[in-house]
Each structure stands twice: as structure tokens, then as C-alpha cells.
Structure 1
Amino acid sequence: MMRLVHVLVIGMLVFAAAYVYRIKMESTVRTEKVLQIQAELRKEREAIARLRAEWAQLDSPGRLQGLAARHLKLKPVGARQFDALKNLPERPPAVVDPSAPDPIASMIEKIDPDIVTGSLPAPEPAQ
């Protein structure tokens, strides 16, 4: 009987050792995966920083002004390029009839002045 207990205890110890070894290997694999992801993240952040620096260089006002001068062939605006006021088109017709009453003003006039808004109580009348 005692041998059977010893064999069972030794078997449980071997099983426990194998289980602990498996957990250790899984944690090692996961640690390596985390380190690999961190390295990829660092590379992506460096790439983003590099692209931002390149964008700042490409977007600099001096560079853009030089490109515009070289490729667009722009000329200064002359005083004769503006049209006279008499040549402007007619004013578009009014959307709202000027003689119609103001709808917002009529809503404001309908408000009861005794209604108190806010969290303060109505003031007491002076005696």
C-alpha cells in the first residue's frame, strides 16, 4: 500500500513539474512576442517622426514660395484688373418680406413676464 502512495506522489510531482515547465515556456513565448511588438512599435514611431519631419520640410513657406514662383508664373495684381461698381450684377431679391413682422420678436412678446427662470426665487416686492 505504501508503495502505491509513493508511486502516486512521484507521478503527481512529475505531472506538476511538467505543468510548471509548460507554463514557463508559454510565458517565455509571450514575453518574446511582447518584445517583438514593442520593437515594431518603436520602428513605427520612428517612421512617423521621420515622415513628420519630411512633411515639415516640404510644407515650409520658403520652399512653397519658391515652387510657386518657379512653376505658376504669377504676376502682381494691377489696379486695372478690378471692375467698376456700376458693372456689378443686380442685388438678388429679398428672401424675407421687409414689411412682415419678426417671428422671433412676436414669440418674445408672448412670454409671460411673471415666469422666473433660473434657480433664484422671485424677488419680493418692495414696500
Structure 2
Amino acid sequence: MRIIHVAVIAMLVFAAAYVYRIKMESTVRTEKVLQLHAEVRKEREAIAQLRAEWAKLDAPGRLQGLAERHLKLKPINARQFDQLKNLPERPPSIVNPGDPDPIASMIEKIDPDIITGSLPVPEAAH
């Protein structure tokens, strides 16, 4: 009979220790969740503060004041525009509209006698 009592007491102690371990793990996890909630709340508050600051910096009235203070812009008047007939001629197109490869067409039209870059001109053989 004593062996059964000792076994039951050992099982109860084991069960109590197991329940205590589960309780401690759940407490640690609960604290971690609460800490994460606090961090999320803190980050949301920081985001809200940054959005408010951005709205303040991006306000049209503030930008208008900065532009007037720092840029030497003048209002446009109707005399600043010219007629279309006074525009310069359009530069010639170096690419034909129907070319399937416009870059190859531009390369073909480059004058090979024009030397570009920093390479020296090759000297004649002695």
C-alpha cells in the first residue's frame, strides 16, 4: 500500500510541477505579447506624429511662403508667350519612323571619321 501512496504522491508532485511550468511559460508569453502590443502602439504613435509633421511641412500655404521668400519667381503675363510661327525649325530626325531598331539606325548614321573619347589619334607607322 505504501508503494501506491508514494507513487500517487510522486505523480501529484510531477503534475504540480508540470502545471507550474505551463503557468510560467504562459506568463512569459503573455508578458511578451503585452510588450509587443506596447511597441506597436509606440510605433503607431510615432507614425501618426510623422504624418502630422509631414502634413505641416507639406501645407500649400507654407510652401507658397517658402517659394516667395527663396525663389525669385515672377507671375506670368500674356506678353511672355510668342506665336508658333516664331519657333525655330525642328531639328532633322536621325531615326526613320519605320525603323524596327532605332538605336542601330542612329549608329549607322554616325560619321566614322569623327573620333570621340579620350583615346589618342593613332600615329602613322614609321
TM-score range, shorter chain: 0.5 to 0.7
Matched, 1:8 2:12: no
* 1:42-75 Cα shifts (integer Å, max 9, x gaps): 1111111111111111111110000000011101
Length, aligned pairs only = 95
Which residue number corresponds to residue 20 of structure 1? 19
TM-superposed deviation, 1:87? 2.4
Q: Percent identity at matched positions?
A: 80
Matched, 1:73 2:84: no
RMSD: 2.0
Which residue number corresponds to residue 55 of structure 1? 54
Instruction: Return the alpha-carbon distance in structure 1 between the equivalents of residues 49 and 75 of structure 2.
Output: 37
- After TM superposition, the structure 1 = structure 2 runs for residues 1-127 of structure 1, keeping only pairs within 5 Å, are 2-88=1-87, 89=89
Instruction: Return the alpha-carbon distance in structure 1 between the equivalents of residues 57 and 66 of structure 2.
Output: 11
Structure number with the bigger relative contact order (C-alpha 8 A, sep ≥ 6) is 2
Q: Which runs of 5+ in 1 are unaligned?
A: 97-127
Instruction: Return the alpha-carbon distance in structure 1 between the equivalents of residues 9 and 44 of structure 2.
Output: 52
Q: TM-score, normalised by structure 2?
A: 0.67
- SS of the residue aligned with 2:82? coil
Q: Which runs of 4+ in 1 moved over 6 A?
A: none
